[in-house]
Structure 1
């Protein structure tokens, strides 16, 4: 257990401090930059910062779960999902820099809290852990849909990134369900949504 904690702690440091990299091409790389108004750029950057922090939280949750789940196949699924999430981190960070902004100052705080949630979810059992992952991905997909509604219609670069992350989130949720995820009770779903709203509200500005 100690060895696994050390490994996940190292992953956490790299998630927060290192420049992420992805295997798939950067979505929308060939698309021209169309945003010219400062207000539109500021809003797009804020939304991408929220998405970046969402992926930071997801990385932390999956790292915590990977330590405490029981079945090797569940741990492998969580690691694969986290690996794809690292690509999302890279895409969001790149887009934020293109828009002249910064990632959230609160990322270390949200990473620590999410890691604890992941540990707890994994300790409850694999089916509950997969259920937690599925619900997290579903709510992330809903958040991304709202972002697409508020983005400037001409901002195809941001839209392409968000749409790909949204498709990946739906795939992750379906995979967790296929592997036997337990549906979470309504109070727990509401709790996840409240925490997500807190994260969204704060990281939009910070």
Structure 2
């Protein structure tokens, strides 16, 4: 029986470069699951509502760009193969979110944030550093990030007009997936981050949210 192929650091680096292009180039991300909004109807909305919803979906799209970068950075530097596999599996599921948000932005006659390459680079660096420190820190970072994303999604769901069932369906499924990813990271041995670290992450997230709502 053949043993699994062992990839070198250079192999993984080239894989990450390919993944970054798939994440950042519009239309390159391909979902493995159909969008939860696929069979739901668009409803009429005025220009102000459409602009606001597009801003929220742009924030969530950038959040998924950051999640891709975070997981890919961690997978690059993770110490244990099983931890690396978990990061790569989570990244694959986050691709679905990325594609769903991008599709919804197109339906709203809008586009992703032009700041995505900047946030991708920052998130990839943070993920790689966390992986170099330890797998426990890396998994803890995932859990803390997913908890933060869950709060953002709760806020956005509260802001959506009731009639926008398409955006709501997407965000509700994303929320379920993020909760699962966070729980899995803690169950795999992730550390629980202290409150000052979580506060700093919230501050950085707030900057991303404000920057990408309109840009």
TM-score (norm 2): 0.93
- For 2:52 and 2:26, locate their aligned partners in 1 and report how far apart those are by CA, in whole Å: 25
- 8 Å contact 1:35–1:41 — kept in the other structure? no
Q: Considering only aligned residues, what root-mean-square deviation do their CA atoms show, in Å? A: 0.9
Deviation at 1:4, TM superposition (A): 2.0
> Max radius of gyration: which structure?
2
Residue of 91, 111, 117 corresponding to 1:108: 117
Matches within 5 A, 1:34-45: 34-45=43-54
- For 1:7 and 1:141, locate their aligned partners in 2 and report how far apart those are by CA, in whole Å: 29
Residue of 98, 110, 119 corresponding to 2:107: 98
In the other structure, the counterpart of 1:24 is: 33
- Runs of 5+ in structure 2 lacking a partner? 1-8
- For 1:18 and 1:158, locate their aligned partners in 2 and report how far apart those are by CA, in whole Å: 19
Instruction: After superposition, give the CA deviation of every residue in 1:94-127 in whole Å (9 maximum; x if it has no partner).
Output: 0000000010000000000111000111011011
2:32 is paired with a residue of what secondary structure? coil
Superposed structure 1 runs of 4+ greater than 6 Å apart: none
- For 1:111 and 1:14, locate their aligned partners in 2 and report how far apart those are by CA, in whole Å: 12
In the other structure, the counterpart of 1:166 is: 175
Instruction: After superposition, give the CA deviation of every residue in 1:147-194 in whole Å (9 maximum; x if it has no partner).
Output: 011111110100000000000000000111111110112221111111
* Count of paired positions: 206
2:189 is paired with a residue of what secondary structure? coil
User: Is residue 2:119 matched to residue 1:144?
Assistant: no
